[in-house]
Structure 1
Amino acid sequence: MLSQLSPAIRQYLVVTGNYWAFTLTDGALRMLVVLHFHGLGYSPLEIALLFLFYEIFGVITNLVGGWLGAHLGLNRTMNFGLALQVVALAMLLVPAAMLTVSWVMAAQAMSGIAKDLNKMSAKSSIKLLVPVNAQGLLYKWVAILTGSKNALKGAGFFLGGVLLMWLGFTGAVGAMAAVLALVWLASMIFLKKDLGKASSKPRFRDIFSKSRAINILSAARMLLFGARDVWFVVALPVFLSQTLGWSHMQTGGFLALWVIGYGAVQAIAPRITGRNRESVPDGRSATRWAAGLAILPALIVLGLGTTEMSPALILIGGLLLFGALFAVNSSLHSYLIVSYAGSDGVSLDVGFYYMANAMGRLIGTVLSGWVFQLAGQGTTGLAACLWISGGMLVATVIISLGLPKRARPGPHGAEPQEPEHQEKIPQ
């Protein structure tokens, strides 16, 4: 069956399978760490700090990883990411007395490097497996990869909560390390050699993008993801557990379903934004969808301040709507960066963009714990995080106004040009 598929499709399946397996363990590990250390009495800020190196090294990895991908090939950076995640999981298998904050931060730093090497490699690979004139098909493939990844990340949240209850922290981590090691071995065998290696060796200073469109999109992406994580990473799960009295299973299950739904919307984003399949997105699309998202945090805060409705009902409803709109925004950005990036050394442009993505997560993660604790936790702490989220989203809209309108990517990372006509999305 697989032998009848084209080489590009087979490589797409290998890349996607790697990405899926990695994402499942990454989501589960995050939930394991949040719930396990919250149960040990760690404060919200202390929990946020556990992920500090995860996000910091994500910023560094995306910059350097894009350069490495262009030099060594994306197959090597992807496989190295899988191997590093196995090492990061193994670091958490030490006796409980050794699971200090500094040790967990070091393991999370390793995991952050692994995750962004894997993601940068997967997103860059798609650019090379789709014909340059098939922008509609590129949008579909990027949406499917991104959406399915986030659905599995949500499944990972649920898996993390379940494994914590069934196997305990050490047993859960050991099981995930063993499975991911098998995936790494399979990837070493099946992933195409030299995928994504640049025809000419880029200089190290080329890690910084020289494209105005990519720089603007990267700034918008940083604020977009900071706006999500400032209330989602620490403030929300602690609020659900501490203020609403939800169990670990309920908290993990709800966040899992939210991310799964978010991923499902991402996967069908081309149907939502494609205007009856007649065009692919441009800068105007990103601006409009960001504007729709920007008003939601304020509406959730105002709803939480009313006494007529249950805070849980307001929060769940707001989260569902926020997730749907955020998913479309994220999918649009993911398509635009792959579309704008040059084909030769694509990982340089994609790596720079995901560096900004990691910077946004870093800012949001730290603010999520710090602001939630400083504002008194509970409803007031969550509201403070939501107001900051809204401000970041307004800034995202303003920055997105500078994105190219009706843009067509240049063949070598040049500034997008105005097309003579819109491209049809392949049926």
Structure 2
Amino acid sequence: MLTLSTLSPAVRQYLLVTGNYWAFTLTDGALRMLVVLHFHSLGYTPLQIAALFLFYEIFGVITNLVGGYLGARLGLNRTMNIGLGLQVAALLMLTVPAIWLTIPWVMGAQALSGIAKDLNKMSAKSSIKMLVPQSEQGQLYKWVAILTGSKNALKGVGFFLGGALLALFGFQGALLLMATLLALIWLASLMLLKKDLGKASAKPKFRDILSKSQAINSLSAARLFLFGARDVWFVVALPVYLSSVFGWDFWMVGGFLAAWVIGYGIVQSVAPALTSKISGKARGQLPDGRSAFVWALLLAVLPAAIALGLKTDWSAQWLLIGGLLLFGAVFAVNSSLHSYLIVSYAKADGVSLDVGFYYMSNAMGRLIGTLLSGWVYQAYGLEACLWISSAFVLLAALISMGLPKHAQPSPAG
């Protein structure tokens, strides 16, 4: 507590925002795993399970677009608290008697959760821009990487938590426990988060939500295909495949997906050091459009290689697990590069407008990937999902060629 008291008010506020973001992320990952595994056990098809997340992703698109505007007008702490409250409501909606858990009802709860998730993400990612001077871009890269990586590691813990809670307490018991704990955090947040961090100096107009920067538009398009490439196999196809083809139970499926996302988060956190070493520059080199292109091109090879390998006599289980772990590591670097670039490109005044627009594209990619994950897997199998993943990453690489490039390496902050 003494250490916290020595920090500046802005940093203390940011730490509180980050703590809320972490707590929310645990429930978000756990809820995703609970819904996939519970409704798969009830006999829902992969396409029906994907449909349950349709509103989650659609409202994520809308929330990121409008949420950036709200953050600039109201302050990022208010949007954070709104997100926490909505997540509590979404969890409680799913604790109703089983007979009420119709597809429209579950989709409605997922819509609230999607709004909540993206209000939280936009608030946390935008806040960091306000704390790092424009001249210290290397430090900005490190802070963004740590925030993003730690969040994804916790989301992986949430996947495992979801599988474990489902096995221990059942669907409704798990949801009620999570709702209670998150409600306590929400109440504490309402009392502690008081500073209007990120509020624009001039009230933005609603038309300002659409970005006019070519760099942000190009990066947003690349982000759409990058995350579509992940979710086309990750959201529905992979957990259903592990359960139905490999015969894994809830603990094993949740544990593997948790390990994948935790490892992904760890790699994101160390991405600045990793890209610096690979660049061969003693002082490090900050990412630019060339970096985004090269790393995306490397990533595009992996799902295609896994799909080809599944047609051989090699062990499908070890090939898939090993291949997806490697995909996760390279994907993490790509994601971390993008997360740094958007914060770097965004305007400091009303930063949430640019960040919100970018994460709108991120949500659109997840929406497309989620729908394809259920439909393509049900119709054509996991290999087809992997081929689509490879094609999407290749498109992201080609779009990244249009991003700004450094004339010469910039010193790390």
Distance 1:178 1:77 in 2: 21
Instruction: Tell me the TM-score normalized by structure 2.
Output: 0.97
Displacement, 1:279? Answer: 2.5
Give the fraction of aligned pairs with identical amino acids, expressed as a percent. 73
Q: Could you tell me which of 173, 176, 185 is aligned with 2:187?
A: 185
| Residue 300 in structure 1 maps to residue 300 in structure 2 | no
In 1, the alpha carbon distance for the partners of 2:305 and 2:282 equals 31
Alignment counterpart, residue 316 of structure 2, candidates 311, 318, 322: 311
Please report how far the alpha carbon of residue 185 of structure 1 lies from its aligned counterpart in structure 2 after TM superposition. 1.6
Per-residue deviation at 1:130? Answer: 1.1
Q: What aligned pairs does 1:220-369 form with structure 2 within 5 A after superposition?
A: 220-274=222-276, 275-307=281-313, 309-369=314-374
Asked if the contact 2:208/2:353 (under 8 Å) is kept, the reply is yes
Which runs of 5 or more structure 2 residues have no equivalent in the other structure?
none
Aligned to 1:409: none
Deviation at 1:302, TM superposition (A): 1.1
CA contact (8 A) 1:241 1:247 kept: yes
Contact 1:18/1:183 (<8 A) preserved? yes
Provide the aligned length of Structure 1 versus Structure 2. 407
Whichever residue aligns with residue 227 of structure 2, its letter is F
Distance 1:276 1:200 in 2: 42
Q: Which residue of 2 aligns with 1:34?
A: 36
Partner of 2:412: 425
Task: Tell me if the contact between 1:154 and 1:255 (Cα under 8 Å) persists in the aligned partners.
Answer: yes
Q: Which amino acid aligns with 2:76?
A: L
Cross-structure match for 1:54: 56
**Structure-2 separation of matches of 1:425 and 1:189:** 38
Corresponding residue number in structure 2 for 1:410:
none
Following superposition, the deviation at residue 103 of structure 1 comes to: 0.3
Q: Is the 1:63–1:352 contact (alpha carbons within 8 Å) kept by the matching residues of 2?
A: yes
* Partner residue in 1 for 2:201: 199
> 1:385 corresponds to which residue?
385
Which residue of the partner structure matches residue 87 of structure 2? 85
Q: Distance in 1 between matches of 2:146 and 2:17?
A: 12
Structure 2: distance between partners of 1:382 and 1:276: 42
d(CA) in 2 for partners of 1:135 and 1:192?
Answer: 28
Deviations 1:58-96 (A, max 9, x none): 000000000011111111001100110001011111111
CA distance in 1, matches of 2:232, 2:196: 38
Query: Among 213, 216, 221, which residue is 1:214 paired with?
Result: 216
Q: Give 1:422 deviation, angstroms.
A: 4.4
Give yes or no for contact 2:16–2:193 (8 Å, CA) kept in 1.
Answer: yes
Q: Note if contact 1:300-1:315 (Cα within 8 Å) is conserved in structure 2.
A: yes
* Corresponding letter in the other structure for 2:179: A
Q: Residues of 1 paired with 2:91 and 2:398: CA distance?
A: 40
Tell me which residue corresponds to 2:163. 161
Measure, in 1, the Cα distance between the counterparts of 2:195 and 2:16: 12
Paired residue type of 2:290: R
Is contact 2:137-2:344 (8 Å) kept?
Answer: yes
Structure 1 spans left out of the alignment, 5+ residues: 376-380, 407-417
1:225 touches 1:361 (CA, 8 Å); kept in 2?
A: yes
Instruction: Show CA shifts across 1:107-166 (max 9, x none).
Output: 000000000000001000010111121111111111011000000000000000000011
Task: Report which stretch shifted further, 268-277 or 242-251.
Answer: 268-277
Q: Does the 8 A contact of 2:284 with 2:411 survive in 1? A: yes
The residue identity in structure 2 corresponding to 1:72 is L
Q: Say whether the 8 Å CA contact 1:271–1:277 is kept in structure 2.
A: no
Counterpart-to-counterpart distance in 2, 1:33 and 1:119 = 21
Match of 1:404 in 2: 404
**Would the aligned equivalents of 2:304 and 2:390 in 1 still touch at CA under 8 Å?**
yes
Deviation for aligned residue 1:276: 4.0
Aligned counterpart for 1:133 among listed residues 128, 132, 135: 135
**Native 8 Å contact 2:13 2:195 kept in 1:** no
In the TM superposition, what is the alpha-carbon distance from 1:278 to its structure 2 partner?
A: 2.7
Once residues 394 and 47 of structure 1 are traced to their aligned partners in structure 2, the CA distance between those partners, rounded to angstroms, is 28
TM-score with structure 1 setting the length: 0.94
Label 1:191 to 1:394 Cα distance change in 2 as closer, same or farther (>3 A): same
Aligned-partner Cα distance in 2 for 1:296–1:144: 25
- Is 1:64 the equivalent of 2:66? yes
SS in 2 for 1:196: coil
Call closer, same or farther: CA 1:324–1:276 in 2, change over 3 Å: farther
- Which whole-Å deviations, capped at 9, do the CAs of 1:194-218 have from their partners, x for residues lacking one? 1111111111111110000000000
Report the residue type matching 2:411 in the other structure: K
1:187 deviation in Å? 1.6
